[in-house]
Structure 1
Amino acid sequence: MSVSIEVRDVSITFGSGPTAVKVLPTVTFSVAPGECFGLVGESGSGKSTVLRCISMLTDIWTGDVLIGGRSVRDMPLIERCRTLQMVFQDPYGSLHPRQSVRTVLNEPLVIHKLGDREERIRKAITDVGLPVSFLDRFPHQLSGGQRQRVAIARALILEPSLLLLDEPTSALDVSVQAEILNLLQRLREERGFTYIMVTHDLAVVDHMCDRFAVMLRGEITEVLPREAIPGNQATHAYARELIGASLEYEGSH
């Protein structure tokens, strides 16, 4: 189930000539099979853009992304969708307001022509800790945490190897955040997923990630193991400042 990822010299430039703006200068990192890798940094540092490149939601980048040794550009769309799925930040915006949970979960199965649909749908909803009775509910009948569980179930239903998590808990209450993170942790242990998680919260990194990259203005300043957080073992000035501010904040709460 686990798969490796290599991001090689991924770069995006908007515009051309003297007005061209490099959003991502060059981003390179690798993730081992079954690893949870974090991307952290301030808003606008390019974290979510990297996920959009890996998933091909944006395709105007240069460089290469290899998943299990294969370039994402060489993967047919159907295969790419079976290999990687994304969970978005906003559980309100990522679900269709007029579609029941059953319809949301059934749609990928129809597109990918998979059988045993009812069985798969029931397994997906119970795997994320929701009762089967929720299948007939609509998004407005669910809490934020329940919606995000449905979004995770939708991502899981195609049995991908790689999950891209774009701030999956930042729109949720603190108590619900912990539930969702524990759910993601459990699923990774059970299924051996590889995760790339974008977050601005180093407490989330400390809870979830094996290693993390600190981004600043579209570039990776440093890649660190999770163990570097408590004693702030970063060497790059910005990474030290970011971790220091987080530790100070945690210490004051």
Structure 2
Amino acid sequence: MTASVSIDKMGIRFGSVQVLPEVSLEVGAGECFGLVGESGSGKSTVLRCLSLLLDNWSGEARIGGTSVRALDVMTRCRTVQMVFQDPYGSLHPRHSVRSTLSQPLAIHKLDAVEDRMAQAMTDVGLPLDFLDRYPHQLSGGQRQRVAIARALILEPQVLLLDEPTSALDVSVQAEILNLLQRLRAEKGFTYLMVSHDLAVVDHMCDRFAVMQAGNIVDILPRDAIVGNDARHPYAHELIAASLRYERAL
């Protein structure tokens, strides 16, 4: 089962700073939608508001037609999960992989715990004996696979991906991106993905929005990257800079 995401006039202020003025976007069920822009443009803030990690925002956000504010916390956690940027900081150093995966199942009183953990490990390509390892015994890529398994284990409909590969080596990045693509194809997830790397967006996303100073200035199909078909001057320059960088490699 998958779900659409709808954000309408989402705004948030931190003190005197208006971080998001009014963000609106629509993500189709089963779509991978990217958010790109320079650091501080508000990309990750959108994910944190949508997941209610931040709750002092205005506007509306719906998943599958239901307001995220109308979902009780248990239902919301079963519906939407987030994978964070830093695989070293997102796992508790004193919790084994088994503990990390079993805790959400215990909180939600789900049965077949061992079977669910085994399936999650298989889904992310990790051997079952890794269940008894601790984060310090895992590589960065393996830690991120555990973080993805933790997000998967409650069988959500929407995954929020906050630069899930930026802290990893280039070779490992490709493995994680291919893993995410495979999981989306197999399970029908809807992805909302933050990235600063247009090559990642080109590899993963169906469409993407360009953000500047908390505003969405352009929404484009993935194919717009190669020919730089952006309409907004900032979006055009962002894509041009990325293309120049890739040619220089």
Q: Counterparts of 1:71-86 in structure 2 under 5 Å?
A: 71-86=67-82
Q: Distance in 1 between matches of 2:133 and 2:19?
A: 40
Q: Distance in 1 between matches of 2:225 and 2:17?
A: 33
In the alignment, what sits opposite 1:14? Answer: 14
SS in 1 for 2:227: coil
Q: Distance in 2 between matches of 1:178 and 1:80?
A: 30
In the alignment, what sits opposite 2:96? Answer: 100
Q: What amino acid sits opposite 2:156 in the alignment?
A: P
Q: Counterparts of 1:69-148 in structure 2 under 5 Å?
A: 69-148=65-144
Q: Distance in 2 between matches of 1:227 and 1:176?
A: 25
For structure 2, which runs of at least 5 residues remain unmatched after alignment? none
In the alignment, what sits opposite 1:180? Answer: 176
Q: Distance in 2 between matches of 1:14 and 1:184?
A: 33
In the alignment, what sits opposite 1:190? Answer: 186
Q: What amino acid sits opposite 1:154 in the alignment?
A: R
> Is structure 2 residue 18 aligned with structure 1 residue 25?
no
Q: What amino acid sits opposite 2:121 in the alignment?
A: I
> Is structure 2 residue 193 aligned with structure 1 residue 211?
no
In the alignment, what sits opposite 2:153? Answer: 157
Q: Distance in 2 between matches of 1:47 and 1:135?
A: 33
- Superposition deviation, residue 2 in structure 1: 1.2
- Superposition deviation, residue 126 in structure 1: 1.1
In the alignment, what sits opposite 2:41? Answer: 45
What is the TM-score of this pair, normalised by structure 1? 0.98
- Superposition deviation, residue 14 in structure 1: 2.3
Q: Distance in 2 between matches of 1:145 and 1:117?
A: 24
Q: Deviations over 1:171-195 (max 9, x none)?
A: 0000000000000000000000000
SS in 2 for 1:181: helix
SS in 2 for 1:110: helix
In the alignment, what sits opposite 1:2? Answer: 2
- Superposition deviation, residue 146 in structure 1: 0.1
What is the TM-score of this pair, normalised by structure 2? 0.99
- Superposition deviation, residue 13 in structure 1: 1.5
In the alignment, what sits opposite 1:36? Answer: 32
Q: Deviations over 1:147-168 (max 9, x none)?
A: 0000000000000000000000
> Is structure 2 residue 220 aligned with structure 1 residue 224?
yes
List structure 1 runs of 4+ shifted beyond 4 angstroms. Answer: none
Q: Distance in 1 between matches of 2:53 and 2:6?
A: 17
- Superposition deviation, residue 68 in structure 1: 0.5
Q: Counterparts of 1:52-67 in structure 2 under 5 Å?
A: 52-67=48-63
Q: Distance in 1 between matches of 2:2 and 2:20?
A: 27
Alignment length, in residue pairs?
249
Q: Deviations over 1:12-53 (max 9, x none)?
A: 1223xxxx2211010000000000000000000000000000
SS in 2 for 1:230: helix
For structure 1, which runs of at least 5 residues remain unmatched after alignment? none
Q: Deviations over 1:193-226 (max 9, x none)?
A: 0000000000000000000000000000000000
Q: What amino acid sits opposite 1:12 in the alignment?
A: I
